[in-house]
Amino acid sequence: MSAPRLEVDAVSVAFSGLRALDEVSFTVEPGTVHAVIGPNGAGKSSLLNALCGIYPVTGGRILLDEHEVTRLRPDRVAALGAGRTFQNIVVSPRESVLDNLMVGRHRLTRAGLVATALRLDRREARRHEARVREIAAFVGLTALLDSTAGRLPYGDLKRLEFARALCLEPRLLILDEPVAGLNGAESRELGRLVVAAREALDLTVVFVEHDMGVVMSIADRVTVLDFGRVVAEGTPAEVRRDPTVVSAYLGAPDEAGQGEERTPQ
């Protein structure tokens, strides 16, 4: 299975009168890394939740290749190959890193989560564990596989979440603020891993991120949201120069040169 094309066509999401997304359209070409940026409350998380079937879409269409996923339940969207991480880390703190990653495999097991919980057929379990170990090595978690997830430093937890999304064997990888809270070196490393995963696993990637350094260095294209609408789209260089983006989001440097924008790396 190859990297899919994602088409978001005039998608709206509303909460009791509030339009979190207002006819948002953009296309993510197969095998590309696409960033969604915008100020707080712009609708970025609502967009990811709409893509995954978590938030009901009130208008428009979402297509993953030829499949319309607009009104599918989250498990059906996942079955078509969408795997994601969340803004707030969601791991089982008392379980080991390995067990947290094995849970990421449940979509791929014959009977789903119940079988995972009840213990898989031995041979199938060994096959899944071997794959999980490969992914852990790819993300640099091998030495931590037996560690209790709840005791990991924040940077390792973020990598665990990323690895768990990869364990779903997604074709479309959706990341909500993958580097939030990480220091510069950790952010660059995770950014590098996203690009490496895209290449090694033939993925299409959509991510929301506030760290402009990472956005500018790993995204092929960027969609900018403000008040639930697309205000700009283009390559990182184009978006960076767009006057609407500079005033709405990046922040023009003030007279003392203390603008909000973070320097791309």
Ligand X SMILES: Nc1ncnc2c1ncn2[C@@H]1O[C@H](COP(=O)(O)OP(=O)(O)OP(=O)(O)O)[C@@H](O)[C@H]1O
Q: With binding defined as CB under 6 A, does residue 191 bind ligand X?
A: no
| Distance from C-alpha of 174 to C-alpha of 35, rounded to nearest angstrom | 10
* Closest to 104 in 3D by CA, of 141, 76, 129, 138: 129
Tokens representing 42 are 């712009």
- Complex with ligand X: residue 15 or 154, whichever CB lies closer: 15
Return the closest-CA partner of residue 47 out of 170, 194, 196, 207: 207
CA 158, 162, 168 angle in degrees (round to 5)?
150
Nearer to ligand X, 38 or 81 (CB): 38
Q: In the complex, what is the shortest distance from the CB of residue 89 to ligand X, in angstroms, rounded to a whole number?
A: 15
Shortest approach of ligand X to residue 44 CB, angstroms? 4
88 touching ligand X, by CB under 6 A: no
**Interface with ligand X (CB under 6 A), residue from 3, 6, 26, 43:** 43
Task: Convert 30-67 to b/e letters by CB count within 10 Å (16 or more is b).
Answer: ebbbbbbbbbeebbbbbbbbbbbbebebebbebbbbee
When asked if residue 45 is in the footprint of ligand X (CB under 6 A), the reply is yes
* Binding piece for ligand X, criterion CB under 6 A, among 12-20, 72-80, 93-101, 163-171: 12-20
Q: Does 15 bind ligand X (CB under 6 A)?
A: yes
CA–CA gap between residue 236 and residue 174 (Å, rounded): 19
Instruction: Give the interface segment with ligand X, choosing from 26-34, 35-43, 60-68, 140-148 (CB under 6 A).
Output: 35-43
Smallest distance from ligand X to CB 169, Å: 27
Taking CB under 6 A as the binding criterion, the range among 38-46, 122-130, 147-155, 253-261 that sits at the site for ligand X is 38-46
Binding mask 210-229 for ligand X (x = CB under 6 A): --------------------
Among 38, 53, 81, 178, contact with ligand X (rule: CB under 6 A): 38
Give the residue, chosen from 32, 46, 109, 223, that forms a contact with ligand X under the rule CB under 6 A: 46
Minimum distance from CB of 172 to ligand X (Å)? 19
CA distances from residue 26 to 1, 184, 240, 244, 264 in whole angstroms, order as listed:
23, 30, 18, 18, 24
Run of H or E including 199: helix 184-201
The region of 13-21, 71-79, 117-125, 193-201 touching ligand X under the rule CB under 6 A is: 13-21
* Residue keyed to tokens 């603008």: 259
DSSP 170: -
Rounded to the nearest whole angstrom, what is the least distance from the CB of residue 236 to ligand X in the complex? 19
Q: Out of 8, 22, 44, 167, which residue is the one contacting ligand X (CB under 6 A)?
A: 44
φ, ψ of residue 201 to 5 degrees: the values are -110, 5
Question: What residues line the site for ligand X (CB under 6 A)?
Answer: 15, 18, 20, 38, 40-46
